């Protein structure tokens, strides 16, 4: 199996956002990444799972929101379907927070 090199994960964080988890798992020539945050008023988990290859091509696998139990079940299902057949498991990583994102400010993607 061809593994991608380890890489740092950078995120912008809005002042009221609570990061839940960032998970990564290796596939052959790709990496699965999970970004999730906790919605402050309801406690629901909002998440996105995507794959990324060595050329930074990204494909969304699944997005969703719901209680922590639903998130955990979905991560277990994805681990069983994609990672375990390759002898892999999810790894939790700590991101590097670049700065707090001002939701009223300009979009930083185009800068």
Lowest-pLDDT range of 1-5, 9-13, 77-81: 1-5
More confident residue, 5 or 20: 20
Provide DSSP, 2-59: PPPPP---EEEE-TT-EEEEEEEEEETTEEEEEEEEE-TTT--EEEEEEEEETT--EE
- For residue range 48-103, what is the model confidence (pLDDT) as tens digits? 999 998 888 999 999 999 999 999 999 999 999 999 999 999 999 887 776 665 65
More confident residue, 102 or 110: 102
* Predicted TM-score (pTM) of this structure: 0.78
More confident residue, 19 or 84: 84
Mean pLDDT of 42-48: 94
Nearest to 98 by CA among 39, 12, 5, 3: 12
Confidence of residue 5 (pLDDT cuts 50, 70, 90): low
């Amino acid at each position: 199996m061809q593994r991608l090199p380890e890489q740092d994960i950078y995120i912008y964080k809005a002042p009221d956002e609570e990061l839940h988890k960032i998970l990564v798992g290796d596939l052959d020539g790709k990496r699965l990444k999970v970004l999730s945050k906790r919605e402050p008023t309801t406690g629901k988990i909002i998440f996105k799972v995507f794959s990324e290859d060595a050329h930074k091509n990204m494909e969304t696998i699944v997005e969703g929101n719901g209680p922590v139990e639903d998130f955990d079940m979905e991560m277990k299902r994805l681990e069983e379907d994609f990672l375990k057949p390759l002898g892999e498991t999810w790894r939790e990583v700590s991101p590097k927070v670049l700065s707090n994102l001002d939701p009223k400010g300009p979009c930083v993607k185009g800068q």
